[in-house]
Amino acid sequence: MEKYPYRKSGIGDSSPYVPIISAQIYDAMPTIEELEAEERQNRAKRRREDRKFNRAIAIILIFTLVGAPLLGTGVGMGVSLANSYFLPRLLNDAAQRENFAFDNVHTPQTPVGAFESPLLHRQNYVDLVNAVKPSVVTVSVRMPAVGGMLGQLQARTRAGTGIIMYETTSRYYIATNAHVIAGAAEVGISIEGSADIPAIPVGRYDDADLAIIAIYKADAIQAGVYSVVLARFGDSMQSQVGEIVLAIGNAMGEGITVTNGIISALDIVIYVEGLTLDVLQTNAAINRGNSGGPLVNVFGEVIGINTARIAEQLAEGMGYAIPSHVAKPILERIMHEGPAARRPTIGVTIDTEAPTDAGIMVFNVDPGSPAHMAGMQRGDIITHIDGLPINYFEEMVAFMETRSMGDVATFTINRNAEILEKTMTLGEYHRPRF
């Protein structure tokens, strides 16, 4: 008998098919009410979803129409603020300072207004002042507080003037006198009546009474100053006695004022507070606060930096300015070297009136100075420096201008007809205080 592969116990062989019984589950048909309720729920759900979609679209439209421009403005303001305030403070303009030179920055200026005419009229002065005045700033110096009556601290202030001479990516550089900022706790400048802008020191050259301070452009913008006018420096070697000049400055700390006069003398040597200065003399009124301001010619060029005046009843109309041909190389050195810019010294005072056949006579030797340490004495006559003949004090100054701190120089001196050589290191020393 044929066997089937699938057999269930109890099922005879005669039945080849196995009946399969399957169970089926049927859903009951929904009623009309249930269908309507479901439809209502679906409609409510679609309405909620539509409202969410519409709100999303509205938000997108509002952002597009209003938010995006505001965001653009905000980004623009942020970029502007970063460019004008934060970034300039981080930028190093040392390379731009290294490239500074008056010959590279300032071009010759043509005469202002009708100054081509030999006849000077009132309008000529107006044009000249309007051309130069924007480059002149007031300098306000706050000195360290000192004890007053009843132990109270009293603040001291000093007024001066400055000349805007250079501009870099991040700063404006201003020339002034060293004595204006000496010992200052804080220095502020004002440009054409602006609020005070904090200044930072760049360098001082005390022996020539010159200094440079700087302000950040960011701080100038905060004070409402968005651009400046740079002064034009001329060549004082071309100046002549009798030439008309104007002195512009912060006289008595009352703001920028102007006085006129002429050049009274050239190549004058004066002694002010231990300094020997080569100056121009002018009868243009120079008052307290004018220090650091420009003496300008009729071409609007700075030919001098006002520095001192004679304050005696027997002397009137005697003001002094550092000639531009002396000031420019020193200012360039300060820009390049910063606080290290100093004319080296040996610590002697020269008697410019002493008669000598050749050389210059030493009037005084400062204790502790290089000259003192080398054995130089009062009455010695300096005839040569490094083999170069020295017949005038100005020649010694010119030699020092070509040397740096730490250089070694040999001075040939005549001491009572005996020729001696004194080798010394040029540099600074601590002046005694009395």
Q: What is the pTM of this model?
A: 0.59
Domain final residue pick, 261, 294, 327: 327
Domain for residue 363, yes or no? yes
Kindly state whether residues 302 and 359 are assigned to the same domain.
no
Residue 204 confidence class, pLDDT cut points 50, 70, 90: confident
What are the pLDDT digits (tens) for 24-72? 433 444 555 555 566 667 666 666 766 666 666 666 666 666 555 555 5
Task: Tell the residue number behind the tokens 């060029």, with chain if given.
Answer: 301
* Interatomic CA distance for residues 311 and 314, integer angstroms: 9
Q: Which of 291, 324, 366, 369 is catalytic?
A: 291
State the pLDDT at residue 380. 93
Distances (CA, A) of 182 to 26, 186, 206, 210, 382: 106, 10, 9, 11, 32
Domain for residue 299, yes or no? yes
Which residues have a Cβ under 8 Å from the Cβ of 114 and sit 6 or more positions away? Answer: 121, 123, 124, 127
Q: Is 9 a catalytic residue?
A: no
Kindly state whether residues 247 and 317 are assigned to the same domain.
yes
What are the pLDDT digits (tens) for 267-292? 787 776 556 778 889 988 888 888 89
What are the pLDDT digits (tens) for 232-265? 998 888 888 999 999 998 888 888 889 989 999 8
Distances (CA, A) of 48 to 52, 60, 367, 381: 6, 19, 97, 107
Task: Identify the CATH number of the domain in which residue 255 sits.
Answer: 2.40.10.10
Kindly state whether residues 352 and 319 are assigned to the same domain.
no
Kindly state whether residues 249 and 322 are assigned to the same domain.
yes
Kindly state whether residues 319 and 352 are assigned to the same domain.
no
224 conformational bin, left if phi > 0, alpha if psi -120 to 50, beta if neither: left
| DSSP, residue by residue, 167-179 | E-SSEEEEEE-HH
Domain for residue 149, yes or no? no
Domain final residue pick, 66, 90, 114: 90
Domain for residue 304, yes or no? yes
Domain residues for the domain of 41 are 37-90
Q: How many CA atoms lie within 13 A of 4 on its CB side?
A: 12
Domain for residue 8, yes or no? no
Q: Which of 207, 209, 278, 380 is catalytic?
A: 209
Q: What average pLDDT score do residues 208-216 get?
A: 90
**Per-residue H/E/C for 359-406:** CEEEEEECCCCHHHHHCCCCCCEEEEECCEECCCHHHHHHHHHCCCCC
Domain for residue 260, yes or no? yes
Q: Is 336 a catalytic residue?
A: no
Domain final residue pick, 296, 327, 358: 327
Amino acid at 389: P
Kindly state whether residues 243 and 314 are assigned to the same domain.
yes
Q: Is 325 a catalytic residue?
A: no
Contact 160, 176 (CB under 8 A): yes
Number of domains in the chain: 3
Residue-averaged pLDDT of the chain: 75
* Interatomic CA distance for residues 225 and 184, integer angstroms: 24
What are the pLDDT digits (tens) for 101-156? 887 665 444 444 444 444 445 556 888 888 889 999 999 888 776 655 555 656 67
What are the pLDDT digits (tens) for 3-21? 444 444 444 444 444 444 4
Domain for residue 332, yes or no? no
3-state secondary structure at position 151:
helix
Task: Identify the CATH number of the domain in which residue 408 sits.
Answer: 2.30.42.10
Amino acid at 109: Q
State the pLDDT at residue 130. 87
Kindly state whether residues 246 and 312 are assigned to the same domain.
yes
Kindly state whether residues 302 and 370 are assigned to the same domain.
no
Domain for residue 23, yes or no? no
